């Protein structure tokens, strides 16, 4: 029940703010973002306490309490129809969680608090920080002027950066019949390109326009946002809610799919990972990378559960949206899981046809002939040779730029970068083949998939720090292997080793630190792919080819 309460408190603000602005778009705004967040947490706690008092078996008690508290808060805080519509689902979600989750949690959780009192205190402290951080972010989603509530207060770039601006802009352009949505003039005002022309208004204020480099099939996922066209803040809130719930679902499914000794640790750490800075920051800027990681993992879990069509649909969506998850297609082929590969390809064809019907062939042609070559050469990221680009790029493609900045004369980095990327891609393919031939239990397989997805994401010419989310997620799975204190210390220390950037460093020092971060991330991921599995036989055997014997 304690774990279910924590899950409810994490998700309540996300659900509330995923609905509040979209509903205000239709019914008018009332109340404040702070009031909505506070009300959502109050309702979640009230329903959870009622569930505790009822022993998790009497559903009508939390339903009654949730209804009364919701109506009282909506009336007392004058939250209007939009507030009521946003908070009723919070009560429903919490009631469902406190009644549905506890029987489905590992029995190994029972009694842990009594046996490990110090660890329980530390866990509760981190859990409270996670809830507070998620709640603060939800306020910034509801009110973009509340900049002190963003994930990294004082960081101006993330304060005004939203990847969703690019997705919304591209969706609008293709529906207007623009022939080449990737051409630079459509993206003036984004980083590395000329500013907007005088007198041209930015429709995404206070956020700046980002650039778009995704395949047009990705825009099929933007369909739920089209009903809110013209109200970017409502679109941003809905996207936040959808991505937050998807991330929570993915972490839950993967955590419960893991079996074996100490598997309950993955369940315990899932809420803490959800409330961590990398996850919340990705949700704040609206980048699709977190959702792509989740969808790819859900696809592979579905394949393991013999749900080939579910897995094929999810993996096809992910590959045709982000490209890099195609590395898992290599895994399927090497393991001779041809049925799953064919089903994935079939869904990919259906999505391509749907994209052509919805957006026309021009957008697909523009991506293949214009955008894709620019992605390969790095021309799609003109800011890579700026101080900020040099300091923040995790991709091996960026090494020549960093080395040139540090005084090493290796030639034109725009010429060397693609060669580095080609060598890296070849190594990635070899690693995928090696990893696919490894045997292991579910834990081993999931960690290997995550590592491969991280390495594939770093294949892009420009890879920001959020590409490491898969590696950080893998640390929660690696917790099942902790047997000694130094194992735990090593896992915990990996986070700051990859993420911490001291304030006030010169660009040269930032370039050196960025190289170190990339080398560490690639090194750890490679080790996770090639290391020997913990067990000889996997819990779900990988199909092997028939061999004839004489």
Which token pair is 108? 């190994």
Long-range contacts of 542-548 (CB under 8 A, 24+ apart): 542/335, 542/337, 542/439, 543/335, 543/336, 543/337, 544/336, 545/336
Kindly tell me the sign of the dihedral angle through the C-alpha atoms of 25, 28, 31, 36: negative
- In this predicted model, what pLDDT tens digit does every residue of 480-525 receive, in sequence order? 998 888 888 999 999 999 998 888 888 888 889 999 999 999 999 9
pLDDT < 50 positions in the chain? 536-550
Q: Is residue 69 part of a domain?
A: yes
List the beta bridge partners of residue 208. 161
Q: Is there a contact between 289 and 322 (Cβ–Cβ < 8 Å)?
A: yes
- In this predicted model, what pLDDT tens digit does every residue of 271-301 receive, in sequence order? 999 999 999 999 999 999 999 999 999 999 9
At residue 387, the pLDDT reads 81
Q: Which of 211, 215, 141 is closest to 381 using CA atoms?
A: 211
Q: Is residue 54 part of a domain?
A: yes
At residue 322, the pLDDT reads 92
Q: Is residue 161 part of a domain?
A: no
Q: Is residue 77 part of a domain?
A: yes
At residue 390, the pLDDT reads 83
Task: Reply yes or no: is the peptide bond before residue 193 cis, omega within 30 of 0.
Answer: no
CA distances to 27, 48, 334 from 327, in Å:
45, 42, 11
Q: Is residue 251 part of a domain?
A: no
Q: Is residue 21 part of a domain?
A: yes
Q: Is residue 232 part of a domain?
A: no
At residue 88, the pLDDT reads 96
Q: What is the CA radius of gyration of the chain?
A: 24
SS (H, E, C) 491-534: HHHHHHHHHCCCCCCCHHHHHHHHHHHHHHHHHHHHHHHHCCCC
Taking every pair of C-alpha atoms in the chain, what is the biggest distance, in angstroms?
Answer: 82
Distance CA 400, CA 7 (A): 44
- In this predicted model, what pLDDT tens digit does every residue of 14-26 receive, in sequence order? 999 999 999 999 9
State which residues form the domain around 78.
Answer: 2-110
DSSP label at residue 372: H
List the beta bridge partners of residue 161. 208
For the entire predicted model, the pTM comes to: 0.93
At residue 539, the pLDDT reads 43
Expressed in percent and rounded to 5, the helix, strand and coil fractions of the chain are: 75, 0, 25
Distance CA 35, CA 220 (A): 34
- The burial class, CB within 10 Å (0-12 / 13-18 / 19+), for 163 is buried
Q: Is residue 182 part of a domain?
A: no
Rounded to the nearest 10 degrees, how much is the dihedral formed by the CA atoms of 166, 168, 170, 174?
180
CA distances to 101, 261, 271, 486 from 126, in Å:
21, 24, 10, 20
Q: Is there a contact between 343 and 308 (Cβ–Cβ < 8 Å)?
A: yes
At residue 533, the pLDDT reads 81
Total domains in the chain come to 1
């Amino acid at each position: 029940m304690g774990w279910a309460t924590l899950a409810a408190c994490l998700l309540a603000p996300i659900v509330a703010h995923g609905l509040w602005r979209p509903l205000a778009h239709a019914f008018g705004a009332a109340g404040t973002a702070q009031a909505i967040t506070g009300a959502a947490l109050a309702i979640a706690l009230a329903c959870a306490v009622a569930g505790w008092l009822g022993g998790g078996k009497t559903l009508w008690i939390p339903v009654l309490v949730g209804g009364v508290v919701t109506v009282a808060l909506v009336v007392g805080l004058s939250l209007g129809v939009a507030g009521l519509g946003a908070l009723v689902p919070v009560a429903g979600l919490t009631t469902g969680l406190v009644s549905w989750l506890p029987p489905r949690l590992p029995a190994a959780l029972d009694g842990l608090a009594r046996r490990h009192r110090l660890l329980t205190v530390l866990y509760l402290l981190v859990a409270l920080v996670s809830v507070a951080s998620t709640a603060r972010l939800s306020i910034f989603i509801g009110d973009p002027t509340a900049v002190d509530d963003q994930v990294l207060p004082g960081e101006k770039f993330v304060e005004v950066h939203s990847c969703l601006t690019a997705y919304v802009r591209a969706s609008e352009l293709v529906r207007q019949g623009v022939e080449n949505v990737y051409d630079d003039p459509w993206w003036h005002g984004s980083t590395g390109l000329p500013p907007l022309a005088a007198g041209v208004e930015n429709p995404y204020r206070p956020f700046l326009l980002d650039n778009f480099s995704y395949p047009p099939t990705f825009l099929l996922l933007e369909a739920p946002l089209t009903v809110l066209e013209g109200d970017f803040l409502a679109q941003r809130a809905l996207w936040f809610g959808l991505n937050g719930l998807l991330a929570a679902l993915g972490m839950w499914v993967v955590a419960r799919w893991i079996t074996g000794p100490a598997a309950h640790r993955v369940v315990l750490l899932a809420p803490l990972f959800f409330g961590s800075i990398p996850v919340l920051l990705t949700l704040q800027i609206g980048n699709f990378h977190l959702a792509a990681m989740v969808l790819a993992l859900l696809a592979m879990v579905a394949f393991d559960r013999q749900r080939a069509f579910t897995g094929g649909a999810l993996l096809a969506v992910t590959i045709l949206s982000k490209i890099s998850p195609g590395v898992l297609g290599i895994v399927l082929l090497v393991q001779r899981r041809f049925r799953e590969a064919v089903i994935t390809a079939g869904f990919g064809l259906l999505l391509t046809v749907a994209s052509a019907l919805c957006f026309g062939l021009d957008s697909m042609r523009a991506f293949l002939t214009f955008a894709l070559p620019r992605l390969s050469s790095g021309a799609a990221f003109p800011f890579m040779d700026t101080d900020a680009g040099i300091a923040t790029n995790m991709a091996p493609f960026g090494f020549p730029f960093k080395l040139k900045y540090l005084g090493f004369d290796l030639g034109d980095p725009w010429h060397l970068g693609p060669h580095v990327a080609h060598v890296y891609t070849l190594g990635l393919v070899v690693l995928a083949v090696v990893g696919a031939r490894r045997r292991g239990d579910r834990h081993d397989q999931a960690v290997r998939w995550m590592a491969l997805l991280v390495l594939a994401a770093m294949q892009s010419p420009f890879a920001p720090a959020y590409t490491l989310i898969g590696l950080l997620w893998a640390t929660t799975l690696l917790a099942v292997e902790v047997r000694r204190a130094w194992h735990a210390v090593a896992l915990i220390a990996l986070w700051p080793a990859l993420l911490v950037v001291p304030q006030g460093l010169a660009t040269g020092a930032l370039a050196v630190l960025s190289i170190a971060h990339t080398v560490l991330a690639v090194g750890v991921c490679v080790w996770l792919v090639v290391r020997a599995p913990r067990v000889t036989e996997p819990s779900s055997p990988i199909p092997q080819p028939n061999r004839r014997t004489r």
